[in-house]
Amino acid sequence: MRRAKRCIDLGSAERSLTKPANYWLHAIIAKENDMKNYLPTLAFSLIGTAAFAQEATVYPFEGTFDDATFSVESAIIGRGLVIDYVSHTGEMLNRTRADVGSDVEIFAAADVFLFCSASVSRQVMEADPMNIAHCPYGVFVIEQEGEVQIGYRNHPEGEMQAVQTLLDEIAREAAGG
């Protein structure tokens, strides 16, 4: 009799275990169906993000990388602006490429000059204090496949076009245009 009772107990234990398993299986299937409903929304949001990705404006420079960096520095300082920092991005990428498992040389050289303009910054931040996210402003010089270019990241429409104009003037002057 004990043996029979054990079998019954095991049988009821099996039934109680299968109920939660079925429940979880049903829950997983329901979640998968829900995800199918969210997939189009996710796809459109990713497409939208790519559409708003910031691009850069670049101008060719006839000369060496060092001449281009001197030209950018002169164009910035010539407007009475102070260069806060020069990021030697090309050196960093070349120095660390083996550390990250790459053998690709992206740039022969690349520097980014970071600076602010008190008057332009005040103008755009009075319009929207969150425009602080765009500060400092940067003009870059890159050498890639023997070509030297000077450029900057494009800024959104609206009040940030004052920054865009400043960056364009600096880049054009530095490029010799």
pLDDT digits over 21-54, tens only? 455 455 555 555 554 554 444 444 444 333 445 6
pTM: 0.69
Per-residue confidence (pLDDT) for residue 177, from 0 to 100: 73
> In angstroms, rounded to a whole number, what is the distance separating the alpha carbons of residues 142 and 175?
12
150 membership: H or E segment, kind and range:
strand 147-153
- What proportion of the chain, given as a percentage, has pLDDT over 90? 69
pLDDT digits over 51-106, tens only? 445 699 999 999 999 999 999 999 999 999 999 999 999 999 999 999 999 999 99
Q: Domain 56-175 falls in which CATH fold?
A: TATA-Binding Protein (3.30.310)
- SS3 state at 64: coil
Domain spans of the chain, in order of start:
1-53, 56-175
Write out the two tokens for 24.
């979880």
Per-residue confidence (pLDDT) for residue 36, from 0 to 100: 52
Per-residue confidence (pLDDT) for residue 71, from 0 to 100: 98
Contact predicate 138/173, CB 8 Å: no
> In angstroms, rounded to a whole number, what is the distance separating the alpha carbons of residues 62 and 85?
25
